[in-house]
A and B are shown apart, each in its own frame.
Chain A
Amino acid sequence: KAGVTQTPRYLIKTRGQQVTLSCSPISGHRSVSWYQQTPGQGLQFLFEYFSETQRNKGNFPGRFSGRQFSNSRSEMNVSTLELGDSALYLCASSVDRNMNTQYFGPGTRLTVL
């Protein structure tokens, strides 16, 4: 099976812009979670989607949003970008929500100038 894929792999934006990141889970996986990784804050949970519904949200401002499509692919959007949004954004998928292991994609490196 193909692993979790994320596009784009690298992205450079300027402050105030918005960005959309995409995640395609492993075939058959229906749960997608997003994490932000920065040197200062480490790995932090953003949100989780299952059956096209947000099931869980981390402590991030409303500028961070996401959605999931019927084929389980997910997108996350960050509006009005700030310098502090520069990070590696990781997507993880699992079969469902019941104690299953999450498998991570390669991440999208976002740089905000």
Chain B
Amino acid sequence: AQTVTQSQPEMSVQEAETVTLSCTYDTSENNYYLFWYKQPPSRQMILVIRQEAYKQQNATENRFSVNFQKAAKSFSLKISDSQLGDTAMYFCAFRTTEYGNKLVFGAGTILRVKS
């Protein structure tokens, strides 16, 4: 069974600084997708970024980028120029072809951006 581990329950960062959230996963699959979702206090789950396992190039979306290390089964999220609106719970999620539209989530990391 696939598992996703987020080892940092809580993190904080000063506004305008950079922060990296960690995620590791375990799978025997070769083809899969990885996601970072953000859940602010409103509880709306928002897609931040996604990475296809077959792509070597790390995904980027504006201030958000990932460091995908397939061999190490590591998928970290870097947030640059942190903003107060980035304060949220961040979930790493994994999906394979084996189980269709089933996401396996990590436990989440609470990120607090301080002014």
Contacts and interface: CB of A to CB of B under 8 A. Distances in A.
Interface of A: 31, 33, 35, 42-43, 45, 48, 50, 55-56, 58, 88, 90, 92, 94, 97, 99-104, 106-107, 109
A88 B100 CA distance: 22
Interface in B10-47: 33, 35, 37, 42-47
Interface of B: 33, 35, 37, 42-47, 50, 52, 91, 95, 97, 99-108
Given A42-B107, A42-B108, A99-B33, A106 B43 contact: yes
Contact of B45 (A31, A58, A90, A97): A90
Contacts of B106: 42
Contacts of B99: 56
B44 A97 contact: no
Given A99-B33, A101-B35, A48 B101 contact: yes
Given A99-B33, A104-B45, A45 B104 contact: yes
A97 B101 contact: yes
Nearest to B53: A99
Q: Which 8 A-B pairs have the closest CB atoms?
A: A104-B45, A43-B105, A48-B101, A97-B100, A33-B101, A45-B102, A56-B100, A31-B101
